[in-house]
């Protein structure tokens, strides 16, 4: 496959660049060609490919393995922005507060500030550095709703105290060489400003920053500083895909870098209708991407109206698939909605495997099995208390969880009859929630372990209501699906109080509405088939929105197309 | 970009518990380093260490670490390398190995511990920087490589078919990006094979086999027997190729028939082709072991000079933009004084065994200037940044072998004395260079050195020694070096031999004995001879008796200011004291001159004895010496002993008898007498000097 004129222009361009690339534009391919050209005949110099996730870096590595394996080795570098900063900017000197110590990068501080005045545990990750000080930025821990609610009630004086306490804690950790992303970046930025890193410019012919729409202002300042130091910077972004605003990323800031702009507009991924449907979701009103695939049969975008979000939607989606070989993915803004659409409401990914862990712990206990089972139970109990993640509970509840998990497991072990998970369920039914609290939902919703069928089947107790059909479909949040592509994608739009707001933003192309951008990212993952599961009430609005830039849209109402069981079986 | 005076080079190698080295630091010249020392001094160890810590240029590693490499009683070895003079790109490439972000040097440390009883093998560990942090980009070490040229033992065999590697490497290099040329060559080989196969004997051979096969396979789907050459490949071709040299009509077919020296040179050339690959690396260390093994001296110099020029070229040139620096740094080992003399001594590193106990004590009392967390004990757990919550490594529980116990087990360590670091000034260094260039003297190859003024003394000393020393002392004398410096400026040599470097904490010589003439001066010649004056003496010292030698005799030592020889001796002792090696220096001052002192023994009996020997020797200097022999009693013996020497010198001058010739015949006479068990009465101060030279 040869490069398009657009792609070639980018490969041949000199100097700093800001490339706006639409989804499926052959971006990675173009960048690799650019890198190959930049290092041709210069074995002493390399290219730095910087991504914001290990997954994205892995994707670049996989492509390089085929096209230009030499760029996988020094002097080139492929990795995350953070590892680049640690290795080549902080370097042997390390962190300012821990000179000469090995830098240990952490995704999270893993510590909470157990602060009495705030009456809740505030994660250290909620604090960010700014001009040498530490400030509370609740957006950084968006998923922890309880903390958010609490923080909103605090007055300024307490927040100030919190910030000082956080600063002390963070400084102590950083003095040991431990650092998280925001603090690493502020440290690195100071370093680059203090002394121009000549060695970087000398080693790397180009520094490529991929997915730059996810850059926060600090990252962009680092890019500016690298340019000032003489590094050629190529920044690639799809500003429409900016879905990390909650972390401070702002794609609009990219324009302020003052880089020569170039565009990659040909879409090699999606069919014409998918391009048109996706264009309806963009903030910028413009023509849809030109679909570049010669082979593509243009299937209409499908809208699946639903009354209740359950696995029937997944079945209807599967019925649309042309064959078993299609890679199909169900995506939603929140994982739970994607799960619901394929009948995996909640719980661990493989409840039978979890059941096996419990069985081992009860039948033939070894310390490790016991520990594993305890962790499983603790997770269940946390869910029972409405906590989505570990460490989200305050220390009193956390203690209740630990103690209760051990007790339940002990009770179950003492029981003589029944299969292991049934015994645990039995014990759980006798467990009372901590004082003043109620369990969230039914027990079957938070304890999902199933006994392994077979072997001791004679002892089997009544069938677990959880033993129902789970569709063999992949599911993912939109944020994790970013950067990937699939043959067929079902985008789940859940029923919610903010649905109207979302449709409004879609309609008026509201730049600031991240939910809209999330839908755009989701829609652009699809190659051949794109489907939307939408609440019945808004199906018509969605259809007209999707159609407004010329996409073919087809509504498949429930029951119109019975689920194709043969197909399901085949996929299994 | 900054311009650096010195391009990237291996600056320092520290070997700990590696073979014979308990703790040895070797400093290298950025272009060429000549490692000199006697056998087993540790030269090879240094080369072996470099081979372990750098990548082989041709990608075929032959040298792996093994049990033998760990010093006796130690549990592991450690090799630490420091490369200096990094430019900005190299700083970028090797950034993680820099001691600090702004440094222009990179440090790697290679460790290998003996496998424990339950392990089959153990992998070496690499760390970077002075603190021994974990390595992040091991691949960058591949930009530092070596080409190894082992001691030339059997070049004929190495060039022959048993090792097609060299020729194959050469072919591969030349055809690197030339697919078409390679295919053409192989096609040509294929054609030649086909032609050969069509030759009647081969056709007959094939048919014979076919005929034999026929009855065996009758009834089956008959297979056909073919005779063919293997599909030609570069390796295959290389295996069948032989290098040869022609030299005016010698049959080129057999390399062995040409002079071995040239065969070695050819081998050398085939290895040095590998240096072309240096362009693919930042730095390539060319390790040449004992090039003297089979090369005659002129060739040795030619080879060494060529190598140095090669290194200089790569240091001076500016590589194409984007290309690797392609630097070549040469390290040569030798025990040939000839080769050592061919290069300036600033390139020379003397390797010698020293008592380990000294080194260890010094190491403990004065640890290195830079704080090394692992400085105290090699076996300490891998030095790493204090990480909170990190478990101490398992190694710490293992019994720790203290350096002192190592010292007790092995008597010696290796010291590496880089002459460039002895603090010699430029004039001194040049003086020694010039001296070595002409004399090829083994100044650097012996731990006991006797420095004398001229060739006459040097010729007589062995004869004197046999009259004075017992059997054991004489044996020791054999290991000593007697050097005529053709002058009286001993200082440069004493400085060279007794100065020590901070890195090695040792000096080249264990004992330096200086034998100099008193040279009593008259008032007009009062000033200490300047460098010029002594150079002048050196220039004509061998020619014969000069005015300067003859004139002072008339002057009375008592009335003149203190004689020059005394002052020289004092100055040398002061110098030795300053160098902290006073006990290693012995200066013997011959009253007046050597001839005078031989004839003026205070004991009349000994004086007569000496006179008799000198009389015969003087007579033997000429073919018809009877007249001299007869005249001796009247002209010499009749004088008081104190005046006899001066008279003899005068006589020698009249008869144009050269000092060197006289010394030759005198030494011959003394040895003749020894056979009759008659010992020459050696003057006391010379006897003392000789004993001092051989006692430890």
pLDDT digits (tens, 9 = 90+) for B538-571: 433 333 444 444 444 444 444 556 788 888 999 9
User: Can you list the alpha helix ranges (DSSP code H) found in B522-602?
Assistant: 531-540, 547-550, 564-578, 594-599
Which chain A residues have a beta carbon less than 8 Å from that of B1? 198, 202
Whether residue B101 and residue A176 make contact (CB cut-off 8 A), yes or no, is no
Give the pLDDT score at A118. 56
Average pLDDT of B84-94? 92
Q: Is the CB of B323 less than 8 angstroms away from the CB of A104?
A: no
Q: What is the pLDDT of residue A115?
A: 61
A65 interface with B at CB cutoff 8 Å: no
From the list B634, B679, B312, B162, the residue with the least C-alpha distance to B469 is: B679
Query: Which residue of chain A is at minimal alpha-carbon distance from B388?
Result: A176
User: Looking at beta carbons, which residues of chain B come within 8 Å of A48?
Assistant: none
Determine whether the interchain pair B92/A100 forms a contact, defined as Cβ–Cβ distance below 8 Å.
no
Is the peptide bond prior to A75 cis by the omega test (within 30 degrees of 0)? Answer: yes
pLDDT band for position B47 (50/70/90)?
very high
Instruction: Supply the pLDDT for residue B39.
Output: 75
**Cβ contact (<8 Å) for B89 and A199?**
yes
- Output the 3-class SS for A539-566: HHHHHHHHHCCCCCEEECCCCCCCCCHH
| Beta carbons within 8 Å of A217's beta carbon, 6+ residues apart | A248, A250, A253
**Cβ of B3 under 8 Å from any chain A Cβ?**
no
Q: Give me the pLDDT at residue B519, please.
A: 74
Structure tokens at B554: 């008339």
Enumerate the residues of chain B whose CB falls inside 8 A of the CB of residue A92. Answer: 95-101, 103, 128-129, 133
Q: Could you tell me how many CB contacts below 8 A there are between chain A and chain B?
A: 94
Q: According to the model, what pLDDT value does residue A341 have? A: 83
The SS3 call for residue A476 is: strand
User: Confidence class of residue B585 from pLDDT cuts 50, 70 and 90?
Assistant: very high
What residues contact residue A454 under an 8 Å CB cut-off, 6+ apart?
none
pLDDT of residue B391: 40
Residues of chain A neighbouring B102 (CB-CB closer than 8 A): 195
- Are B480 and B556 in contact by the 8 Å Cβ rule? The answer is no
Candidates A41, A92, A198; nearest CB to B322: A41
pLDDT of residue B55: 92
User: Residue A305: what pLDDT?
Assistant: 92
Set of chain A residues whose Cβ sits within 8 Å of the Cβ of B88: 198-199, 201-202
Identify the helix (H) or strand (E) that includes residue A274. Answer: helix A272-279
Please state, as a whole number, how many other Cβ atoms lie within 10 Å of the Cβ of residue A138.
19
Q: Does A177 touch chain B (CB under 8 A)?
A: yes
Which residue of A73, A105, A199 is the best one to mutate when testing the B interface, meaning the one whose CB has the most B CBs within 10 A? A199
Q: Residues 605 to 644 of B: which have CB under 8 A from any A CB?
A: none
**Does the ipTM surpass 0.90?**
no
Of B88, B134, B387, the CB nearest to A176: B387
**Exposed/middle/buried for A3, CB within 10 Å: 0-12, 13-18, 19+?**
middle
* Bridge partners, residue A208, by sequence: A49, A234
Residue A367 sits at the chain B interface (C-beta within 8 Å)? no
B91, A104: Cβ pair inside 8 Å? Answer: no
* pLDDT for the residue A253: 82
Neighbours of B676 (CB within 10 A): 7
Which of A67-76, A348-357, B183-192, B213-222 has the highest average model confidence (pLDDT)? A67-76
CB contact under 8 A, A44 and B103: no
Contacts of B234 (CB under 8 A, 6+ apart): B168, B171, B172, B175, B182, B186
More confident residue, B604 or B294: B604
- Answer yes or no: do B129 and A75 touch at CB < 8 A: no
Q: How far apart are alpha carbons A354 and B306 in whole angstroms?
A: 73
How many CB atoms lie under 10 A from the CB of residue B360?
A: 20
User: Under a CB-based contact definition with an 8 Å cutoff, are residues B192 and B273 in contact?
Assistant: no
pTM over 0.90: no
CB within 8 Å: A73 and B100: no
Cβ distance of A42 and B102 shorter than 8 Å:
no
Q: What is the DSSP string of A320-383?
A: H-S-TTS-EEEEESSHHHHHHHTT--SS-S-HHHHHHHHHHHHHS--HHHHHHHHHHHHHHHHH
Q: What is the pLDDT of residue A292?
A: 83
Those residues whose C-beta lies under 8 Å from the C-beta of residue B610, and which sit 6 or more positions away, are B598, B599, B601, B680, B681
Q: Which of A42, A178, A203 sits opposite B93 (nearest CB)?
A: A203
Instruction: Give contacts of A109 with chain B, Cβ < 8 Å.
Output: none
**Is B371 in the A-facing interface, judged by CB distances under 8 Å?**
no
Report the C-alpha gap between A13 and A210 in whole angstroms.
Answer: 17
Candidate from B87, B129, B140 with C-beta closest to A92: B129
Residues 374-413 of B with CB under 8 A from A: 384-388
Residue B505 — pLDDT band, cuts 50, 70, 90?
confident
8 Å CB contact of A203 and B386? no
Q: What is the pLDDT along chain A (572 residues), one digit of tens a residue?
A: 588 888 899 999 888 999 988 888 888 889 999 999 999 888 899 999 998 888 788 888 888 998 889 999 999 999 999 999 999 999 899 898 888 888 888 888 877 776 665 566 778 888 888 887 888 877 776 655 566 667 777 778 888 888 888 898 899 999 999 999 889 999 999 988 888 888 998 999 999 998 888 888 888 888 988 898 888 999 998 888 888 777 777 777 888 888 888 888 888 888 888 999 999 998 888 888 888 887 767 888 999 999 888 888 888 888 888 776 678 889 998 888 888 888 766 544 456 667 777 877 777 666 777 777 888 888 888 878 776 555 566 777 788 888 888 888 888 888 777 788 888 888 888 888 887 777 777 777 778 777 766 544 333 333 344 444 456 678 888 888 887 888 899 999 998 888 888 899 999 988 888 889 899 999 999 988 999 999 988 989 999 999 888 888 888 887 654 444 444 344 43
- Chain A positions in Cβ-Cβ contact with residue B89 (cut-off 8 Å): 44-45, 199, 202-203
Contacts of A176 in chain B (CB under 8 A): 386-388
Considering only residues B216 and B55, tell me which one the structure prediction assigns the higher pLDDT.
B55
Q: Is any Cβ of chain A less than 8 angstroms from the Cβ of B59?
A: no
Q: What percent of chain B has pLDDT over 70?
A: 78
Distance CA A118, CA A150 (A): 8
What is the rounded end-to-end Cα distance, in angstroms, of chain A?
A: 35
The gap from C-alpha A292 to its chain's centroid, in whole angstroms, comes to: 28
Binary contact (B95, A92; C-beta < 8 A): yes
Q: How far is CA A211 from CA A221, A224, A280, A282, in A?
A: 16, 16, 22, 17
Mapped onto helix, strand or coil, the DSSP state of residue B134 is strand
- B119, B394 in Cβ contact below 8 A? no
Which two structure tokens, joined as six digits, stand for B217? 């396979």
Q: Is B547 exposed, middle or buried (0-12, 13-18, 19+ CB in 10 A)?
A: exposed
User: How far is the alpha carbon of B180 from chain A, nearest alpha carbon, in Å?
Assistant: 21
Q: What's the first-to-final CA gap in chain B, in angstroms?
A: 56
Q: Tell me if A74 and B129 make a contact (CB, 8 A cut-off).
A: no
Chain A residue numbers with beta carbons less than 8 Å from the beta carbon of B282 are: 44
**DSSP, res B636:** I
**Residue among A43, A201, A203 minimizing CB distance to B324:** A43
Q: Under an 8 A CB cutoff, do B98 and A92 touch?
A: yes
Q: What is the pLDDT of residue A298?
A: 83
Measured distance CA(A3)–CA(A26) in Å, rounded: 9
Quote the tokens at residue B566. Answer: 């005394």
The residue of chain B with its CA nearest to that of A90 is: B101
Burial track B433-459 (b if 16+ CB lie within 10 A, e otherwise): eebbeeebbbbbbbbbbbbbbbbbbbb
**In chain B, what residues touch A191 (CB-CB under 8 Å)?**
101
Q: How far is B288 from chain A (nearest CA, A)?
A: 27
Inter-chain contact A177–B87, Cβ cutoff 8 Å? Answer: no
What's the gap in Å between the CA of A45 and the closest CA on chain B? 6
Q: Do B324 and A176 touch (CB under 8 A)?
A: no
Closest partner CB to B96 (pick from A92, A100, A198): A92
**pLDDT in the model for residue A353:** 65
Interface test with A, best of B7, B89, B92, B94 (most A CBs within 10 A): B92
Cα(A343)–Cα(A364) distance, integer angstroms: 33
pLDDT at res. B577: 92
Q: Which residues of chain B make contact with A200, given a CB cutoff of 8 A?
A: 92
pLDDT digits (tens, 9 = 90+) for B449-473: 999 998 888 999 999 998 888 888 8
For residue A276, how many other CB atoms are within 10 A of its CB? Answer: 24
Residue of B96, B177, B385, B390 best to disrupt the A interface, most CBs of A under 10 A? B385
For residue B221, CA distances in Å to A282, A458, B214, B224 come to 73, 63, 11, 10
Q: In chain B, what percentage of residues exceed pLDDT 90?
A: 21
Residue of B499 and B446 predicted with greater confidence: B499
Q: Show the tokens assigned to A458.
A: 């004679």
Summary mean pLDDT of chain B: 78
Whether the pLDDT of residue B522 is over 60: the answer is no
Instruction: Inform me whether the pLDDT recorded for B386 exceeds 60.
Output: no
Please report residues of B whose CB lies closer than 8 A to that of A93. Answer: 100-101
Q: How far is A123 from chain B (nearest CA, A)?
A: 21
- Above 80 in pLDDT, residue B278? yes
Structure confidence at residue B405 (pLDDT):
39
């Amino acid at each position: 496959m040869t490069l398009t004129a657009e792609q070639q222009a980018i490969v041949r361009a000199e100097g700093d660049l800001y490339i706006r690339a639409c989804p499926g534009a052959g971006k990675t391919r173009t960048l690799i060609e650019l890198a190959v050209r930049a290092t041709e005949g210069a074995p002493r110099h390399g290219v730095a490919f910087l991504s914001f996730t290990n997954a994205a870096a892995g994707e670049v590595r996989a492509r390089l393995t085929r096209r230009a394996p030499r760029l996988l080795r020094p002097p080139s570098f492929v990795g995350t922005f953070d590892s680049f900063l640690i290795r080549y900017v902080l370097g042997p000197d390390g962190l300012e507060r821990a000179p000469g110590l090995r830098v240990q990068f952490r995704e999270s501080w893993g510590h909470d500030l157990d602060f009495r005045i705030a009456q809740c545990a505030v994660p250290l990750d909620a604090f960010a550095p700014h001009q040498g000080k530490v400030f509370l930025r609740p957006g950084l821990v968006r998923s922890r709703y309880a903390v958010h609610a609490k923080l909103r009630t605090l007055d300024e004086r307490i927040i100030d105290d919190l910030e000082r306490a956080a600063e002390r804690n963070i400084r102590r950790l950083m003095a040991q060489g431990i650092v998280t992303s925001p603090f690493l970046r502020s440290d690195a930025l100071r370093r680059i400003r203090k002394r121009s890193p000549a060695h970087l410019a000398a080693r790397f012919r180009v520094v490529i920053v991929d997915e730059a729409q996810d850059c926060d202002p600090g990252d962009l300042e680092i890019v500016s500083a690298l340019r000032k130091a003489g590094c050629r910077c190529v920044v690639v972004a799809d500003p429409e895909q900016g879905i990390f605003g909650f972390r401070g990323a702002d794609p609009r800031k990219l324009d302020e870098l003052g880089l020569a702009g170039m565009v990659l507009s040909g879409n090699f991924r999606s069919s014409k209708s998918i391009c048109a449907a996706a264009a309806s979701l963009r903030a910028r009103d413009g023509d849809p991407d030109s679909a570049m695939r010669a082979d593509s049969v243009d299937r209409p975008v499908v809208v699946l109206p639903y009354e209740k979000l359950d696995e029937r939607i997944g079945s209807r989606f599967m019925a649309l698939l042309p064959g078993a070989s299609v890679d199909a993915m169900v995506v939603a803004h929140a994982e739970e909605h994607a799960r619901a659409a394929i009948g995996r409401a909640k719980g661990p990914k493989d409840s039978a495997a979890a059941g096996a862990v419990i069985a081992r712990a009860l039948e033939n206990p070894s310390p490790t099995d016991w520990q594993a089972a305890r962790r499983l139970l603790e997770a269940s109990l946390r869910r029972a208390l409405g906590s989505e993640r570990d460490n989200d509970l305050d220390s009193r509840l956390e203690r209740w969880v630990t103690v209760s998990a051990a007790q339940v497991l002990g009770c179950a072990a003492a029981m003589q009859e029944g299969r292991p998970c049934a015994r645990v369920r039995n014990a759980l039914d006798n467990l009372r929630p901590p004082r003043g609290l109620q369990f969230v939902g039914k027990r079957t919703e938070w304890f999902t372990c199933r006994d392994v069928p077979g072997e001791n089947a004679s002892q089997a107790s009544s069938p677990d209501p959880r033993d129902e059909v789970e569709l063999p479909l992949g599911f993912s949040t939109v944020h994790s699906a970013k950067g990937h592509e699939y043959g067929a994608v079902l985008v789940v739009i859940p029923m919610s109080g903010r649905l109207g707001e979302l449709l409004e933003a879609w309609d008026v192309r509201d730049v600031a509405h991240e939910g809209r951008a999330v839908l755009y990212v989701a829609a652009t993952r699809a190659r051949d088939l794109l489907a939307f599961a939408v609440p019945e009430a808004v199906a018509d609005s969605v259809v007209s929105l999707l159609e407004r830039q010329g996409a073919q849209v087809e509504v498949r109402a429930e029951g119109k197309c019975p689920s194709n069981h043969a197909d399901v079986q085949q996929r299994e | 970009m900054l311009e650096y005076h010195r391009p990237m080079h291996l600056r320092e190698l520290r070997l700990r518990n590696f073979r014979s080295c308990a703790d040895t630091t070797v400093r290298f010249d950025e272009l060429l380093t000549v490692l000199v020392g006697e056998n087993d001094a540790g030269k090879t160890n240094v080369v072996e260490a470099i081979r372990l810590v750098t990548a082989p240029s041709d990608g075929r590693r032959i040298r792996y670490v093994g049990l033998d490499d760990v010093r006796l009683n130690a549990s592991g070895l450690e090799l630490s390398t420091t490369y200096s003079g990094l430019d900005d790109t190299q700083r970028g490439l090797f950034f993680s190995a820099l001691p600090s972000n702004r440094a222009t040097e990179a440090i790697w440390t290679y460790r290998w511990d003996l496998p424990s009883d339950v392990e089959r093998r153990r992998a070496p560990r690499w760390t970077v920087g002075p603190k021994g942090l974990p390595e992040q980009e091991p691949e960058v070490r591949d930009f530092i490589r070596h080409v190894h040229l082992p001691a030339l033992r059997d070049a004929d065999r190495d060039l022959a078919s048993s090792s097609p590697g060299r020729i194959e490497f050469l072919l591969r290099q030349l055809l690197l990006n030339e697919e078409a040329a390679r295919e053409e060559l192989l096609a040509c080989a294929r054609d030649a094979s086909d032609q050969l196969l069509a030759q009647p004997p081969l056709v007959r051979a094939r048919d014979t086999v076919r005929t034999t096969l026929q009855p065996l396979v009758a009834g089956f789907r008959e297979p056909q027997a073919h005779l063919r050459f293997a599909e030609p490949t570069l390796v295959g071709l290389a295996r069948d190729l032989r290098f040869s040299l022609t030299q005016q009509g010698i049959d080129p077919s057999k390399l062995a028939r040409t002079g071995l020296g040239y065969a070695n040179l050819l081998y050398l050339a085939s290895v040095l082709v590998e240096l072309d690959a240096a362009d693919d690396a930042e730095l390539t260390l060319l390790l040449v072991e004992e090039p003297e093994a089979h090369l005659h001296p002129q060739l040795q110099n030619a080879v060494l000079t060529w190598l140095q020029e090669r290194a200089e070229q790569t240091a001076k040139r500016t590589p194409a933009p984007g290309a690797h620096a392609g630097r070549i740094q040469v390290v040569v080992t030798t025990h040939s004084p000839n080769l050592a003399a061919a290069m300036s001594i600033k390139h020379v590193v003397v390797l010698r065994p020293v008592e380990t106990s000294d080194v260890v004590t010094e190491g403990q009392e004065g640890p290195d200037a830079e704080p090394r967390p692992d400085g105290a004990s090699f076996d300490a757990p891998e030095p790493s940044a204090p990480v909170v919550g990190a478990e101490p490594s398992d190694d710490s529980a293992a019994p720790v072998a203290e350096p002192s116990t190592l010292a007790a087990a092995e008597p010696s360590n290796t010291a590496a004395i880089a002459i460039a670091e002895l603090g010699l000034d430029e004039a001194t260094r040049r003086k020694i260079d010039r001296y070595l260039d002409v004399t090829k003297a083994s100044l650097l190859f012996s731990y006991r050195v006797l420095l004398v003024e001229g060739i006459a003394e040097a010729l007589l000393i062995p004869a004197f020694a046999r009259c004075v020393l017992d059997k054991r002392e004489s044996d020791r004398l054999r290991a000593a070096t007697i050097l005529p410096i053709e002058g009286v400026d001993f200082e440069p040599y004493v400085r060279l031999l007794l100065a020590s470097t901070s890195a090695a904490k040792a000096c080249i010589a264990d004992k330096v004995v200086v034998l100099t003439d008193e040279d009593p001066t008259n008032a007009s010649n009062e000033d200490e001879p300047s460098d010029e004056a002594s150079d002048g003496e050196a220039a004509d010292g061998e020619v014969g008796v000069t005015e300067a030698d003859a004139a002072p005799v008339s002057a009375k030592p008592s009335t003149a200011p203190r004689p020059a020889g005394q002052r020289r001796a004092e100055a040398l002792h002061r110098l030795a004291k300053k160098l902290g090696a006073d006990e290693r220096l012995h200066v013997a001052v011959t009253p007046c001159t050597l001839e005078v002192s031989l004839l003026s023994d205070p004991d009349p009996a000994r004086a007569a004895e000496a006179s008799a020997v000198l009389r015969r020797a003087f007579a033997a200097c000429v073919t018809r010496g009877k007249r001299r022999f007869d005249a001796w009693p009247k002209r010499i013996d009749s004088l008081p002993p104190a005046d006899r020497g001066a008279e003899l010198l005068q006589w020698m001058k009249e008869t144009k008898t050269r000092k060197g010739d006289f010394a030759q015949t005198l030494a011959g006479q003394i040895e003749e007498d020894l056979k009759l068990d008659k010992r020459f009465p050696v003057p006391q101060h010379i006897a003392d000097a000789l004993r001092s030279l051989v006692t430890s």
